[in-house]
Structure 1
């Protein structure tokens, strides 16, 4: 019975691998590429903290949901290097979204926490990262990053529905530890300038096997690969800018996820987004900076693929905090002229 239960669990995990990426997929990847690339932390001269929540198939019990928290900053002994580059021109109490910081080599540290839940399955991932940013040309940078940490995959017994509530064999299985903790690694590289970034990264590099109840299964945590880019084009003589973006996510044994889209920014404070996930969904999003150093984003996906879902909408919300000292526009212009 125990082996049968393990086989079923392994099969379900395998199905999760085949029909969906094991790693969480977020529509607002363009706002926080550090989610999947340790080399993308610390691009701006700020301490950046972000929270996010994604919920699919609203109204269905056990529907997939994901949560994350990330934080990263440059290690600096010069206080002038930790700044919010400029303020909104019309409201000095609101910070504008700063551009990427280029021109100087830098060290960046960070960390992130993920929590995913699909039915009775849950996965918690805690990672710490380090990245080195190297000046590539006068106006571009190349960064290399690694992250390491632990993941815990297991079954939430409160989410399991049994035909027989007195199933002693299932209780025996739980007593033998229905969770697995593993050490894992990730790595990435980012090429960027003030208004653009392109990156490649990978997670779950160790390809750990799934082991539950002290029994090895045929399933494993596959390596995931990410390729992405974005470029913010300022529209001359306006407060508008357009930022096309793309991201491809793929893993062995699972269909690739291809995303393309564009954001329209206004005054470095507001944005709207439209994107398309190949053969899967169209996504819409809005965001704004508010309360001095906070920024908020909301998006929803409308399913258009062949896979039928109980609810065609996916909701995602993000909240970020920017910390840093104030700098004047005059100083920023002087820094640009010195580069």
Structure 2
């Protein structure tokens, strides 16, 4: 049995049945890029930035997920407004999600350097199925109605969130894909319908200064989709003089990740993460891992 065929069948079972499953891309270095999941965190870093991230999962499996993200954000202090723009391409097997989102936040300044931020986001998404790959699979034949369908659906959606930023801790809550747009590849049927399901995200982190040079940052990301298990990921990061960092994450019942990075001249941040996945992926030679690299320049 071909690995590509296995991946294709697993993906299609998610895409075309009314089963909730995680649809939005994930990255191991989520704590340093909160605005990717919460529009209220747009501009939370204060310094304007642009960046990119690339992640390749299940490297030993043909058709494993690959995610490319381009982003930028800026905070306008006088207007108390933050803006973030995100472009991404998320490909797994014969399916791909290509889209863009614009996030806008508004801040209410509180005492002692605290800021309560509210955000809204808009998204345009193109969901595409590579029918040529499916046609070559052992699990599809020429009579399958999906092969004669357009294979591309473009939809819009929205997100909203709230984010509390303080000098020592940050909390965030957001809802993505509020509209839950339908992905009806074959018109007039229900067996091939899917939709963008709502994702509820909760993030938290705490900055514990151990001495003048080092800060320890425990953090957590909790994601919930109705009728699906709660997805929990947490870890800790150690930053030294805002120049280098190391850390690890644990994704509950899924994977372990170790990551590190360097910030050149306090401006260009370069990070790398390596994930090791649990079974059943780990039974494949070099299959149960992921590599992720991120670049971010702070102006």
TM range (shorter): 0.7 to 0.9
Please report how far the alpha carbon of residue 9 of structure 1 lies from its aligned counterpart in structure 2 after TM superposition: 8.2
Q: Which consecutive residues of structure 1, in runs of 5 or more, have no partner in the other structure?
A: 1-7, 78-104, 324-339
Matched, 1:226 2:226: no
Moved more, 208-217 or 283-292: 208-217
- Paired with 2:14 and 2:46, the residues of 1 have a C-alpha distance of 44
Please report how far the alpha carbon of residue 134 of structure 1 lies from its aligned counterpart in structure 2 after TM superposition: 0.6
The equivalent residue for 2:48 is 47
**Per the alignment, do residues 222 and 14 of structure 1 end up closer, same or farther by CA in structure 2, a change over 3 Å counting?**
same
Q: Which consecutive residues of structure 2, in runs of 5 or more, have no partner in the other structure?
A: 1-9
The equivalent residue for 2:5 is none
The equivalent residue for 2:7 is none
Superposition TM-score, scaled by structure 1 size: 0.77
Aligned residues: 285
The equivalent residue for 1:313 is 289
Matched, 1:179 2:181: no
The equivalent residue for 1:189 is 162
| 2:35 match: secondary structure | helix
The equivalent residue for 1:126 is 100
Moved more, 154-163 or 256-265: 154-163
**Per the alignment, do residues 287 and 158 of structure 1 end up closer, same or farther by CA in structure 2, a change over 3 Å counting?**
farther
The equivalent residue for 1:73 is 74
Please report how far the alpha carbon of residue 235 of structure 1 lies from its aligned counterpart in structure 2 after TM superposition: 1.6
Contact 1:136 1:142 survives alignment (8 Å): yes
- Paired with 1:219 and 1:297, the residues of 2 have a C-alpha distance of 35
The equivalent residue for 2:6 is none
Please report how far the alpha carbon of residue 214 of structure 1 lies from its aligned counterpart in structure 2 after TM superposition: 3.0
Of the three residues 13, 19, 23, the one matched with 1:11 is 13
Aligned alpha-carbon RMSD (Å): 2.6
Please report how far the alpha carbon of residue 226 of structure 1 lies from its aligned counterpart in structure 2 after TM superposition: 0.5
**Per the alignment, do residues 246 and 221 of structure 1 end up closer, same or farther by CA in structure 2, a change over 3 Å counting?**
same
Per-residue CA deviations over 1:158-215 (Å, capped at 9, x if unaligned) read: 4334269xx7656x85564211111100011001112321100011111112210334
Of the three residues 101, 104, 116, the one matched with 2:90 is 116
Higher CA-based Rg: 1
Matched, 1:265 2:265: no
| 1:288 match: secondary structure | strand
| 1:255 match: secondary structure | coil
**Per the alignment, do residues 251 and 53 of structure 1 end up closer, same or farther by CA in structure 2, a change over 3 Å counting?**
same
- Paired with 1:292 and 1:247, the residues of 2 have a C-alpha distance of 26
Matched, 1:211 2:170: no
The equivalent residue for 1:235 is 210
Contact 1:10 1:218 survives alignment (8 Å): no
| 2:40 match: secondary structure | helix
Please report how far the alpha carbon of residue 308 of structure 1 lies from its aligned counterpart in structure 2 after TM superposition: 5.2
The equivalent residue for 1:157 is 131
- Paired with 2:137 and 2:89, the residues of 1 have a C-alpha distance of 28
